[in-house]
Amino acid sequence: MKNKNNYNYLLADLTKLNGVGKKTMQILKKKKVNNIFDLLWRLPKSFTDRTLVSKISDLQIGKSHTIKVIPLKYQFPRVRNLPNRVNCIDETGKINCVFFNSHEGYIRKILPLNQEVTINGKISAFKGVYQVTNPTYISQDSSLVESIDNKYSLTEGITEKTYNKIIKQILLNLPILNEWHDKDTLKLFNNESWNGSIIKLHDPTNIDNYKSNFYKRLAYDEILASFLVNSEIRKKIKKIKKTSKNFTKKAQNQITSKLKFNLTNDQKKSLEEINDDLNSKSKMFRLLQGDVGSGKTIVSLISALNVINSGFQVALMAPTEILARQHFESAKKIFPKNISIELLSSKSKNSNKKKILKDLENKNIDMIFATHSIFQKKIIFKKLGYIIIDEQHKFGVRQRKLLSDKGGDNCDVLLMSATPIPRTLTMSVYGDMDVSIIKEKPNNRKEVKTYSKLEGKIDDVIKFVKKEIKEGNQIFWVCPLIEESKKLDHQSSVNKYKFLSKLFPNDVALLHGKIDNEEKEKILNKFLNKEYSILVSTTIIEVGIDFPNANVIIIENANKFGLSQLHQLRGRVGRGSKQASCILMFKSNLSANAKKRINILKNSNDGFEISEEDMKLRGFGDLLGFKQSGMKYFKLADPIQNEDLFLLAEKQIKKIEIENININKYKALLKLYDQADIINDII
C-alpha cells in the first residue's frame, strides 16, 4: 500500500531509488535534478511504441523494431574483440543478435535455444543478413518488451531504458497526498487529484496536452505555492511593529513647489502610498515600479526627506557609482541646505571614507548614497530608518527577505524597478511586496520618435548624426556584439567604433562588457561631460543613468533584441527637454515577428503595454529582467496561457488572508514546491 501523505519520499535524495548510483546522481544534479520531486518535471518529449510486432521480412534498416524470434545457434568466437552472435529466425527470415562485451553465460540465459523470445532494437545488416546489435530489450515475457515508453531529454550517460525505469519506479511509489484544495476549486479541474495528475503528465498519450484539466491543476498548484509564500512573507513583515515616522508635508510641499514641473497623478499617488506606509506602525516593504523616465527618483527623494524630518537616517543604494552619484547630485539640488547628505564612493580618499563612516555612526549624516557596499558589516548607522534600492540588478525573494531583515524592525524598505513587466508576472515576481506603479510620463517629457532604417541606408543615418552633433546633441550607438563573429551576422561595437572614428575623429568613445568597471565609469563620465559626441556601446548602457544631452540612440540589428530590451535602450534618450530620436537599424530579410516587434515599438512608448506584447511574442522566460529576477521559472505554468489561473490564485490568496485560513493546510504543497527554506520558520 502506498504511503499516504508522505511527501518526504518525494523530497528524498536520488540514491533512494533503485538503479541510481553516484554516477547517475551526479549526471542528474548537473541538470539541477536534486531530489525525486525534481525528476517529475522532466517531461516526456515523445514516445517509443514497441507494441507493434514486425516480421523479419518487413524490417527496415536504421529503424527500431520489436520482433518475436527463436534462437537456433550460438557463435562464440575464441578470437578476442570479435562479437558474440546468436542466429535467430521467425517464419519469414533470419536475423543475427550481435553482442559486444557480453558474457556467454548471460547470452545463453537471455536467449535460450529453441524458445520464443521478444526483442527490440535498431536494425542493421551485415553481409546481406539482418542484425540487431546489443538489443535494447530482450525477454521471454513479451509484455515486458511490448509497451509504450516515453522519450525524455536525457543527459549524456543515462540511457532511455534506465531513465524510464527510474520514472516508472517513482510513479509506482508516488504517495497519495491529502488534498489541499477545497471542493469548489477541485471542480474547476474536474476533480483531478495531484497524484492522478502526475501519473497522467507522464502518460505518453498526453504529451503537450496543455489544455487538459490535470495539466491545469498542476500549473495552478505551483502558482498558488508561489503566491502563498509571498503572502506569508508579506504577512510576516506586516506583523513587525516599528516606530512610525511622524512628519508633516511642509518640507515635501516646499520641494514640489520649487520643481520646474508638476508631479503626475501616478507620482502623487505613489508618494501618498509610501508616506502612509512610513507613517504606519507596520514595516514598509514596497516596490516602486515605473516605466523608463517616469520619475521614480524624485518620488523616492521626497519620501527620503520626509523620513529625515522624522529624525531617521536614509540609505540609497544604486547598482553603479555613476548612478549613485547622479542620485546624490539630484538630492543636492532639491534638498534644503540644512540636510546633511554624502556620497560613499570607491574613489573617495581613505581619510574622507573614515570621516563618513564616523559621521554615519554619530548621526551627523542624514542620507548616504552608495553602491551595495553600503551593507558591509563595518558600516554602522546610528538610526537607519529607510533603505531605498534602485533595483537595476534584480533581487529574488530570498535576497529581498534578507534585505528586509538586515535593516532592523524600524527600517522601511523601498525597491525601485525601471523594468515594466506584465501584471501576471508582477504578481509572481513581486508578490511578497506592496507595489506602487508609475505609468504616466512627466508633462515636460516629449515622446521619443522611433524610426526604422535599412542597414544599406547608413549614409542617411550618418547625415542625420552630423546634423545632431552640429546642434550640440550626443548620440548612443548600440551594437549586439563586442567583436566580429564568424557565426553571427551581427554588427560589432569594435568595428562600428573604428568606422565612426574615421568619420568623427577624437569624438567617439567605446564601451562594452570586457572593459573593467573603473574604466567604464571614466568613459561614462567623459560622455556625461560632453567630451565625446558619440558613445558606441553594447547593451550595458541599459542601466538608468541620465544623459540629458543624449538625444539620439541608434540600435544596430534591432530585430535581434526583444521588445522590452529595445524599449529600455530607447529610454536612455529623451531625458532633457529637446525632441529625441531612436533609429532601429535592420537587414532586409526580416521575419514577420521581427517586423511586428519593430512596428509595436514605433507605435507605442508605454513600457507596460510593450512588455505585454513582448511576452506574447517571445514567451515570459525571455523577458528582460525576468531571468535576472531570482525567481525560479515555473515548471508548467505560463503567464500567457494560464492568465486565468494566476487570477484564480490571486483570488484564493485574498480569501486565505481575509478568512485567516491556517497555512498548515498547504504544508505539503509548500514543502514540495521548493520553498521550504523560506517558509520553514512559518509552518
Which residue's C-alpha cell is 520626509? 306
Place 485 in a pLDDT band, splitting at 50, 70 and 90.
very low
* Domain annotation covers residue 171: no
Of 36-45, 275-284, 631-640, 658-667, the one with minimum mean pLDDT is 631-640
End-to-end CA distance of the chain: 28
* Domain annotation covers residue 168: no
Helix (H, G, I), strand (E, B) or coil at 369: strand
Amino acid at site 662: N
Question: What is the pLDDT averaged over residues 64-75?
Answer: 94
Range(s) of the domain holding residue 217 = 180-189+197-239+642-677
Residue 478: all three cell numbers together: 548600440
Place 628 in a pLDDT band, splitting at 50, 70 and 90.
very low
Regarding whether 383 and 458 lie in a shared domain, the answer is no
Place 680 in a pLDDT band, splitting at 50, 70 and 90.
low
Q: What is residue 681's predicted lDDT score, i.e. its pLDDT?
A: 54
Summarize pLDDT for 131-174 with one digit per residue, the tens.
999 998 898 988 877 777 777 776 667 777 788 888 888 888 89
Q: What are the backbone angles phi and psi of residue 387, rounded to the nearest 5°?
A: -115, 125
Place 368 in a pLDDT band, splitting at 50, 70 and 90.
very high
* Domain annotation covers residue 12: no
Asked whether residue 627 carries a pLDDT value surpassing 70, the answer given is no
Asked whether residue 189 carries a pLDDT value surpassing 90, the answer given is yes
Regarding whether 371 and 305 lie in a shared domain, the answer is yes
* Domain annotation covers residue 443: no
Q: What is residue 532's predicted lDDT score, i.e. its pLDDT?
A: 92
Domain count, the chain: 4
Asked whether residue 565 carries a pLDDT value surpassing 60, the answer given is yes
Instruction: Determine the Cα–Cα distance for residues 312 and 339; give it in Å rounded to an integer.
Output: 12
Regarding whether 333 and 374 lie in a shared domain, the answer is yes
Residue 534 Cα distances to 473, 475, 579, angstroms? 9, 5, 18
Asked whether residue 630 carries a pLDDT value surpassing 50, the answer given is no
Summarize pLDDT for 500-540 with one digit per residue, the tens.
999 999 999 988 877 777 788 788 888 888 899 999 988 77
Across 640-670, b (16+ Cβ under 10 Å) vs e yields ebbeebbebbbebbeebeeeeeebeebbbbb
Region of 134 please: left (phi>0), alpha (psi -120 to 50) or beta.
Answer: left
With beta carbons less than 8 A apart as the criterion, state whether 249 and 305 touch. no
Q: What CATH number is attached to the domain comprising 287? A: 3.40.50.300
Q: What is residue 629's predicted lDDT score, i.e. its pLDDT?
A: 39
* Domain annotation covers residue 383: yes
Q: What CATH number is attached to the domain comprising 60? A: 2.40.50.140
| Of 179, 182, 208, 204, nearest in space to 194 by CA | 179
Asked whether residue 341 carries a pLDDT value surpassing 90, the answer given is yes
Regarding whether 302 and 185 lie in a shared domain, the answer is no
How is residue 9 annotated by DSSP? G
Q: How many CB atoms lie within 10 A of CB 298?
A: 20
Regarding whether 339 and 207 lie in a shared domain, the answer is no
Regarding whether 414 and 270 lie in a shared domain, the answer is yes
Asked whether residue 407 carries a pLDDT value surpassing 70, the answer given is no
Q: What are the backbone angles phi and psi of residue 425, rounded to the nearest 5°?
A: -80, -35
With beta carbons less than 8 A apart as the criterion, state whether 172 and 164 touch. no
* Domain annotation covers residue 508: yes
For the range 277-280, what are the long-range contacts, defined as Cβ-Cβ under 8 Å and sequence gap of 24 or more? 277/412, 277/434, 278/244, 278/245, 278/247, 278/303, 278/306, 278/307, 278/310, 278/386, 278/412, 279/244, 279/245, 279/246, 279/247, 280/244
With beta carbons less than 8 A apart as the criterion, state whether 315 and 368 touch. yes
Question: What is the pLDDT averaged over residues 398-420?
Answer: 76
Q: What is residue 623's predicted lDDT score, i.e. its pLDDT?
A: 47
Helix (H, G, I), strand (E, B) or coil at 154: coil
